[in-house]
Structure 1
Amino acid sequence: MTHALEESQPKVSRHLAQLRNCGLLSDRRDGQWVYYCLAPALPNWIEDILKAAQQGQAERLALLQNRLASMGNRPERRLTMC
């Protein structure tokens, strides 16, 4: 996420931790990797807000997704180096 957002790792981690502490995100660790997803029990109104934000920021989100795609699959790369 730091690569896609062009932000420092501490800043991204701090914001993700805040979202997790508020109950909006869930996380799962796998070695050095942490995988985030939306919390499973979000109220419908939050999902509606996120969908509206996604539609309003479609162009920016596409740019961020392209940056992430350019990195390749980092966990797979890690396995090939071991």
Structure 2
Amino acid sequence: MSKRELPIVGTGAVGCCAPLATAPLSEDDATELARGFKALADPVRLRLLSLIASFAGGEACVCDLTDAFDLTGPTISHHLRVLRETGLVESERRGTWVYYTVVPEKLASLSALLQVPKADLSAQPA
């Protein structure tokens, strides 16, 4: 199985948000981003997101995900539903199986918020 890394975003603002150090968040943006961070604050969901991203083609069958945990199927389904409802993953049913993919734009918006802009060294006194 090949490993695919989660995307690393540049220093520019992505999606809805500028880095915290450059502009304050609106109430709506803060609410939406908090939902994403809350979803990722759970170790099972964080591992699920990592597993999905690491599968070849960036797509994982639910049957492959459940085998990686010592949890029941309904518990895994609950965590996947939380990731799906927050927009971190998308799903597609194919026959009896559901396949999950990571939504790079959603991860990029979370990542962009936490980026600290580089200091402008030319503006520093010598």
TM-score, with structure 1 as normaliser: 0.50
Higher RCO (CA 8 Å, separation ≥ 6 residues): 2
Larger Rg: 2
TM-score, with structure 2 as normaliser: 0.34
Higher helix residue share: 1
